[in-house]
């Protein structure tokens, strides 16, 4: 029987970027956007706040873009400070690359295993789905989902009792499946 687990975000991740005022390296997304128009050109930024001093920094989303090239629904969401758009844009690799930022998902996610009825079985087939691109080591997910220490899961992997088509010791942010034999 296949068990489904879901890795879900619980809040927005921290933005890792150096603050020019206090040299802190963590920002939190404010959920606010700044949009500025220059005749037929438009700029848009996502505002983030330093966790150390509260200074506001701007993450560039649009720079001197022609207004007609921007989808009207995107403009509406920017003007409305849509929190869902904040989450989407923070996960966009192009936005992260353009602004030279990384995300810290530390305590911003949880694993939903659907209950603990799978813990007593000898063989567990699990499908893990990611609701967002959250980089996590599969070994950590297996340990948390099965209530085992991480060292025990790593031992089971080396013994061949945890089998998967993906590398279980490296960070992963895409769906995968694994089988655990006790």
Block means of pLDDT (10 residues each) for the chain, 182 residues, are 87 93 92 92 95 94 93 94 92 93 91 76 88 91 89 91 89 90 81
pLDDT for res 46? 96
- Among residues 16, 163, 177, 168, the alpha carbon closest in space to that of 103 is found at 16
In this prediction the pTM is: 0.77
pLDDT for res 68? 92
pLDDT for res 73? 95
At 97, which helix (H) or strand (E)?
A: helix 93-99
pLDDT for res 72? 93
pLDDT for res 41? 94
Upper half-sphere CA count for residue 151 (Cβ side, 13 Å):
0
pLDDT for res 168? 87
pLDDT for res 182? 76
Cβ atoms < 10 Å from Cβ of 156: 21
Q: What is the dihedral of CA 45, 12, 107, 55, to 10 degrees?
A: 40
pLDDT for res 1? 67
pLDDT for res 14? 94
Read off the tokens for 66.
Answer: 């022609």
Q: Is 147 left (phi over 0), alpha (psi -120 to 50) or beta?
A: left
């Amino acid at each position: 029987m296949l068990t489904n687990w879901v890795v879900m975000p619980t809040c927005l991740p921290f933005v890792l970027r150096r603050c020019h005022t206090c040299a802190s390296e963590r920002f939190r997304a404010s959920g606010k956007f700044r949009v500025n128009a220059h005749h037929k050109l438009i700029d848009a930024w996502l505002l983030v706040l330093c966790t150390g001093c509260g200074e506001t920094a701007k993450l560039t989303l649009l720079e001197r873009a022609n207004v007609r090239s921007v989808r009207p629904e995107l403009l509406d969401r920017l003007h409305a400070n849509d929190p869902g758009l904040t989450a989407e844009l923070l996960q966009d690799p192009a936005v992260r690359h353009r602004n030279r930022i990384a995300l810290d998902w530390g305590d911003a996610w949880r694993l939903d295993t659907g209950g603990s009825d799978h813990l007593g079985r000898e063989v567990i087939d699990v499908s893990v789905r990611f609701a967002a691109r959250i980089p996590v080591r599969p070994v950590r997910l297996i340990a948390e989902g099965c209530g085992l220490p991480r060292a025990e899961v790593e031992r089971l992997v080396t013994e061949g009792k945890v089998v998967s088509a993906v590398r279980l010791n490296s960070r992963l942010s895409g769906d995968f499946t694994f089988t655990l034999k006790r």
